[in-house]
Amino acid sequence: MIDLEVPKKFVPLVKQAAGLADEVFRPISRKYDLAEHEYPRELDLMSALIDGLSDSGASQGAGARTTSGGGAKEEPAGVGAGTKAKSGKGNKNGSNLSSVLSIMETCRGDVGLTLSIPRQGLGNAAIAAVANDEQKERYGTKWAAMAITEPDTGSDSGAIRTTATKDGDEYVLNGEKIFVTSGERAELVVVWATLDRSLGKQAIKSFVVSRDNPGLKLVRLEHKLGIRASDTAAFTLDNCRVPAQDLLGDPEIRIEGGFGGAMQTFDNTRPLVAAMAVGLARASLDLATELLGKAGVKPDPTAPLHSQSHAAARLLQMEADYESAYLLTLRAAWMADNGKPNSMQASMAKAKAGRTCVDIALQCVELCGASGYAETELLEKWARDSKILDIFEGTQQIQLLVVARRQLELSSSELK
């Protein structure tokens, strides 16, 4: 059964991540918010820490993708791509839980900088989820972004239009990708494409494309509301030739379950995005509590809410919301580590944490008045950063749809 205490073996990792947030990310957070698209050179000094996170089992990517518009997709039941244990055989605290705990801490410092840590992209999580042993060995030390979303597909990943045509020992990719997190900085880009549009989502496969492939062309970097330290790219694939050995997973088109391998990535990464939201919510609450405390607001969790000031009561209510998001995130990660199907729980965690993060960040700005709205504090920045956590890796609406399908045991065609 899940233990709500931080496992002893992860305590050093959590402390290390907390130190990174407080000593490295916070001091440069405003700098790279204002200098959008400038690479945070300070992160080059963190290579030793990144290697330490990997050695501790926290090598799952922290990347995320933005989705917009469009219809909903079928979400397969599945487990995360991290360390797993066979169901029913004890308790395992593995890479999914360690990743979630460390990301919660680094995102207390800065979400955009967390997304900018080399070798921690969503593409790395996709490789961990789907690649064979030879591919994992070949790609293991490289930074991989993920290219899924297209201008006309939005949240419906199963309707992507980028094509992959077999040509001898290569595939030729053609299409357009947008909202690629770390797309300019990464060494590899995992591109989703279809082998046959007429077969729908079963024909969708993922391909590892080298960032310097001449057929992969950077179109632009997006200007964004928040997470400005993280680059978000748009690409075109123009007769982009990729060796057949760089197709992830099964090259055959499977009519039954063919999309599940590609979608397995999300059962592992949605708890990570939930962890980002939990970390940002924690930062907002801590700073708002500190600022309001200086003004004489002292919440008392032992007293009835109606007997306290409005500001104190709202802080306590936000703490309760935060705790529920935190616990849902831990559960989803723990289930992945223990070989339990976690698709519904991953979406629950992402939905609750994303919405809670936005609500808390905005309320903290409001409660702190001028201090919350001005650039003298980071609250206004965190409010801007928070919204993407309710959108990427599947929007709020998509997560609720996934949960409903699981609860009602209905397919995507039965519940749209």
- Contact between 386 and 372 (Cβ < 8 Å): no
Q: How far apart are CA 117 and CA 115, in angstroms?
A: 6
Spatial separation of the C-alpha atoms in residues 54 and 95, rounded to whole Å? 9
Q: Which residue has the tokens 């309707």?
A: 159
By CB neighbour count within 10 A (0-12 exposed, 13-18 middle, 19+ buried), where does 123 fall? buried
Burial class (CB in 10 A: 0-12, 13-18, 19+), 140: middle
Q: Which of 42, 393, 409, 414 is catalytic?
A: 393
User: Angle, to 10 degrees, between the axis of helix 343-367 and the axis of helix 310-337?
Assistant: 160
Catalytic (active site) residue 290: no
Report the C-alpha gap between 38 and 117 in whole angstroms: 14
- Known catalytic residues are 393
